[in-house]
Chain A
Amino acid sequence: MTAEDVIRTTGLTKRYGRVTAVDGVDLRVPAGARFGLLGPNGSGKTTLVRMLLGLVHPTSGSVELLGHAMPRHAATVLPRVGALVENPAAWPHLSGRTNLRLLDAAGRGGRRRDRRARVEVALARVGLGGVDRRPVRAYSLGMRQRLGIAAALLRGPELLLLDEPTNGLDPRGIGEMRDLLVALNEGGTTVVLSSHLLTEVEALCTRVGVMDAGRLVLTEDLDALRVPTGRVLLRTPDPAAVVGLLDGQVVERSGNVLVVREDDPAALNTRLVSAGIDVTELAPQRRTLEQVVLGLTGSGSDRVDGRAR
Chain B
Amino acid sequence: MIGVELGLMLRRRRVWLCWVLLCALPALVAVLLATTRLAPAPGQGPAFLSAVVSNGQLFPAAALALVLPVFLPITVAVVAGDAVAGEASSGMLRYLLVRPVGRLRLLVAKLVSTAAFVLIAVALVTLTSYVVGVAAFGFGPGASLGGAGGITSLSGAVITPGELAVRTAAVVGYLALCMLALGAIGLFFSTLTDSPLAAALGVLAVVVTSASLLPLDAAAALRFYLPTTHWLAWIDLYRVPILWTAVRQGAEVQVSYVLVAFGAAWANFATKDVTS
Q: Do A and B come from one complex?
A: yes
On whether the beta carbons of B274 and A83 are closer than 8 Å, the reply is no
Give min CB distance, A32 to chain B, whole Å. Answer: 22
B1-40 interface code vs A (CB 8 A; 1 in, 0 out):
1011101100111000000000000000000000000000
Any B CB within 8 A of the CB of A56? yes
Any B CB within 8 A of the CB of A55? yes
On whether the beta carbons of B100 and A55 are closer than 8 Å, the reply is no
Any B CB within 8 A of the CB of A50? yes
> Which residue of the partner chain, among B5, B7, B100, contacts A107 with CB atoms under 8 Å?
B100
Interface size on B, residues (CB 8 A): 25
Enumerate chain B residues within 8 angstroms of A87, measured Cβ to Cβ: 91
On whether the beta carbons of B90 and A91 are closer than 8 Å, the reply is yes
Cα distance A107–B105 when bound, in Å? 10
Give min CB distance, A67 to chain B, whole Å. Answer: 17
Any A CB within 8 A of the CB of B70? no
Known: A85-B95, A89-B94. A106 touches B273 (CB 8 A): no
Cα distance A85–B275 when bound, in Å? 10
Enumerate chain B residues within 8 angstroms of A74, measured Cβ to Cβ: 100, 102
> Which residue of the partner chain, among B1, B8, B94, contacts A91 with CB atoms under 8 Å?
B8
Q: Which interface class (under 10, 10 to 19, 20 to 34, 35 or more) fits A?
A: 20 to 34
On whether the beta carbons of B275 and A93 are closer than 8 Å, the reply is no
Any A CB within 8 A of the CB of B222? no
On whether the beta carbons of A56 and B100 are closer than 8 Å, the reply is no
A71-113 interface code vs B (CB 8 A; 1 in, 0 out):
0001100110101011111111110000000110111100000
Any A CB within 8 A of the CB of B155? no
Any B CB within 8 A of the CB of A151? yes
Any A CB within 8 A of the CB of B170? no
On whether the beta carbons of A151 and B12 are closer than 8 Å, the reply is no
On whether the beta carbons of B94 and A107 are closer than 8 Å, the reply is no
Number of A-B contacts (CB under 8 A): 77
Any B CB within 8 A of the CB of A54? yes
Cα distance A86–B91 when bound, in Å? 9
On whether the beta carbons of B3 and A89 are closer than 8 Å, the reply is no
Q: What residue of chain A has the Cβ atom nearest to residue B7's Cβ?
A: A102
Any B CB within 8 A of the CB of A57? yes
Cα distance A26–B236 when bound, in Å? 66
> Which residue of the partner chain, among A53, A91, A102, contacts B98 with CB atoms under 8 Å?
A53
Enumerate chain B residues within 8 angstroms of A91, measured Cβ to Cβ: 8, 90, 92
Q: From DSSP, what is the main secondary structure of chain A's interface residues?
A: loop
On whether the beta carbons of A81 and B4 are closer than 8 Å, the reply is no
Known: A89-B90, A89-B91, A105-B4. A57 touches B271 (CB 8 A): yes
Enumerate chain B residues within 8 angstroms of A93, measured Cβ to Cβ: 11-13
Any A CB within 8 A of the CB of B96? yes
Any A CB within 8 A of the CB of B101? yes
> Which residue of the partner chain, among B1, B11, B90, B274, contacts A106 with CB atoms under 8 Å?
B1
> Which residue of the partner chain, among B1, B92, B97, B271, contacts A90 with CB atoms under 8 Å?
B92
Known: A50-B274, A93-B12. A55 touches B102 (CB 8 A): no
Name A276-302 residues within 8 Å CB distance of B. Answer: none
Enumerate chain B residues within 8 angstroms of A89, measured Cβ to Cβ: 90-92, 94-95
On whether the beta carbons of B94 and A55 are closer than 8 Å, the reply is yes
Known: A85-B95, A89-B95. A78 touches B100 (CB 8 A): yes
A142-183 interface code vs B (CB 8 A; 1 in, 0 out):
000000000100000000000000000000000000000000
Cα distance A303–B30 when bound, in Å? 63
On whether the beta carbons of B271 and A102 are closer than 8 Å, the reply is no
Q: What residue of chain B has the Cβ atom nearest to residue A55's Cβ?
A: B274
On whether the beta carbons of A75 and B102 are closer than 8 Å, the reply is yes
Cα distance A304–B13 when bound, in Å? 43
Give B contacts to A, CB under 8 Å. Answer: 1, 3-5, 7-8, 11-13, 90-92, 94-102, 271, 273-275
Given contacts A74-B102, A79-B100, A102-B8, 13 further A-B contacts (CB under 8 A): A50-B94, A50-B274, A55-B94, A55-B98, A55-B273, A56-B274, A57-B273, A75-B102, A89-B95, A92-B90, A93-B13, A102-B4, A108-B102
